[in-house]
Amino acid sequence: MKVLPITFGIHNPFSANNLKSASTSISGNSISQNNIDTFTRNNNDISFNGKIPTFITGKNDLKRLAKNGHIGCIWCGGSMFIQNELDMFHHISKRLASSSELFSRVILHFKDYLPPERIKLVKQISHYSKAYPNHDLKYIFNKMTPPAEKRLIHKQFFILQNLKKLKPELPVELHKDFDILLNHSKYRILGIPYVSEYSAKEFYYQLSNLSKNLPSPRKESILNTAKILTHPIFKEIDPEIPDKWLKRVYKQTNISPNTKGNYVSPYAQNAKEKLKLVLLNKIISLAKEGNHQSIIDLCNLTKNKVIGIPVTSKFSNKAFNYKLNEILEDVKDEKLLKKFSRITKKFPTSLDNKDAFIVKYKNESTDTIISKMLEDSLVTLEHITPILRNTSDKEIKLRNKDLAKNSRIKRGSDNIGNWALAHRWCNALHGSENIKNENFPFSREAGIKYFRTLVEDVNKGLLSGESVINMAKNYFEQTGIKIKLKGMKYTHE
Ligand SMILES: [Zn+2]
């Protein structure tokens, strides 16, 4: 029997003392030893002994079925961490990071929990730690970075090359913007400073991301000020600004034109550029009140772009897609748009490419690196039929208009019959995509195994048969995969 260095299911297995002694004393099947018989519900620690006929009805109780790998992800079948388990890793992350051998050995014990590319990453760490024994995780990470950067750049350039091949199919008037995007992306990837194109929309998008968690009145002042930068007036050829409009802007943003540096002459040739800088300075002063350094940095970077000073920007898939979508806004050729999206989807992410992970987190603390490595494996509550939180009824109607009856979408309900457990990354992959029949991107066997475990749980009295029947119905409707709930002891409730 294999010996585990650590285990879940014993009292605080990750305490420093336990960790030292645990490496030899705990046997291999202890992760699953703590099985469903000792499954405890709620936080008041009522042990389930198989006789209490109260069924799981809450989201958190359902998630606890993932504890100790009891049930796998509905989409990929892998084990999932519950929050407590992740917290334990966090608790010992300093100890783990102190030795890359220990780190890779411990994490590889949980390889059933991790996406394939993460396992490759940990295996590579293990490999490096043999070449550089007795070093900590940070040292190994630094060693891994240069070759990872090289491979990643190669991949990204290859994708840009493939995108370039689509240029002849684009309307001629878009060629210039498209060329600029590709060239600037190369500068970004290589970390070379360049005179970056200013985009008010991009700035607004990045700013809203950064101000997500700001206290309410300040957040509104910042975003309302930034919103003005996206006004169509800035795109008009006429260099002048209508006097009336300018006065309104001053009033709306509480900027005093009489204070030094705030005055903009509406008839000046550079009036628009000047106003952009005044608005950006206003956002900086709002951000300074709350010490929001990342917002200040973004504004300064954007000011350089407005003035035309070369800047270095990191390449990001999101920003690239955002700009490309801006360029393709008026392209109606669906086939061409699909070609673009098929290629851009291949840009490596920190989830599906170990080199992208290394490059993204190379400057982070090992605490952050470890939690980033594991948190995608957290159990999440999945709605089998997506509840389309951000889609209005009207949009659903519009989307269904031209679709055949069997491919129309509908809003799922938020009750246990439509709940399932899935990894965070699988949940995100599902999103609200059509995953029916030939579009099913996951593992059929995983679904079958998932429901087999649920049947056992119904027979143990943990779940109501009716809710599992509804889950299987929703699963069938969504995926086209029929589930036989064989052996389920069930009387009509
Ligand atoms: Zn999964």
Measure 412 CA to ligand 1 centroid, in angstroms.
20
> Which residues have CB atoms below 5 A from the ion given as ligand 1?
73, 75-76, 78, 423, 426
pLDDT tens-digit map of 204-230: 999 999 998 889 899 999 999 999 999
Measure 176 CA to ligand 1 centroid, in angstroms.
42
Rg (CA), the chain: 27
User: Of residues 130 and 490, which shows the higher confidence score?
Assistant: 130
Instruction: Give the 3-state DSSP-derived string for 232-244, with helices as H, strands as E and coil as C.
Output: HHHHCCCCCCCHH
Measure 79 CA to ligand 1 centroid, in angstroms.
8
pLDDT above 90 for 302: yes
Residue 16: pLDDT band with limits 50, 70, 90: very low
User: Of residues 15 and 323, which shows the higher confidence score?
Assistant: 323
Measure 74 CA to ligand 1 centroid, in angstroms.
7
Distances (CA, A) of 200 to 108, 182, 205, 241, 279: 45, 19, 9, 17, 12
- Domain ranges (residues) in the chain: 1-34, 36-78+378-493, 83-194+312-369, 200-306
pTM, two decimals, is 0.76
User: Of residues 389 and 334, which shows the higher confidence score?
Assistant: 334
The DSSP secondary-structure symbol of 81 reads: B
What pLDDT score was predicted for residue 492? 64
Q: Which of 73, 49, 61 is nearest to 451 (CA)?
A: 73
Given a contact cutoff of 8 angstroms between Cβ atoms, the answer to whether 452 and 400 are in contact is no
Report the range of poorest mean pLDDT among 12-16, 326-330, 489-493: 12-16
What pLDDT score was predicted for residue 28? 35
Measure 426 CA to ligand 1 centroid, in angstroms.
5
Measure 380 CA to ligand 1 centroid, in angstroms.
10
Given a contact cutoff of 8 angstroms between Cβ atoms, the answer to whether 96 and 89 are in contact is yes
Measure 155 CA to ligand 1 centroid, in angstroms.
26
pLDDT tens-digit map of 359-371: 999 999 999 999 9
pLDDT tens-digit map of 60-90: 999 999 999 999 999 999 999 999 999 999 9
Angle at 229 between CA 227 and CA 234, to 5 degrees: 140
Measure 267 CA to ligand 1 centroid, in angstroms.
60
pLDDT above 60 for 441: yes
Cα separation of 92 and 28, whole Å?
Answer: 20
Angle at 28 between CA 25 and CA 29, to 5 degrees: 125
The DSSP secondary-structure symbol of 275 reads: H
Looking up tokens 């705990």 gives: 26
Q: Are strands 419-423 and 40-41 parallel, antiparallel or unpaired?
A: unpaired
Measure 389 CA to ligand 1 centroid, in angstroms.
21
pLDDT tens-digit map of 244-277: 999 999 999 999 998 888 999 888 889 999 999 9
Determine the average pLDDT of the residues in 172-186. Answer: 95
Average pLDDT, the chain: 87
> Could you give the 3-state DSSP secondary structure of residue 419?
strand
Measure 443 CA to ligand 1 centroid, in angstroms.
9
Residue 164: pLDDT band with limits 50, 70, 90: very high
Determine the average pLDDT of the residues in 443-460. Answer: 96
Contacts of 156 (CB under 8 A, 6+ apart): 185, 189, 315, 347, 348
Measure 430 CA to ligand 1 centroid, in angstroms.
10
Measure 177 CA to ligand 1 centroid, in angstroms.
39
Q: Which of 45, 39, 47, 90 is nearest to 67 (CA)?
A: 39
pLDDT tens-digit map of 52-63: 558 888 999 999
pLDDT above 90 for 14: no
Determine the average pLDDT of the residues in 99-125. Answer: 96
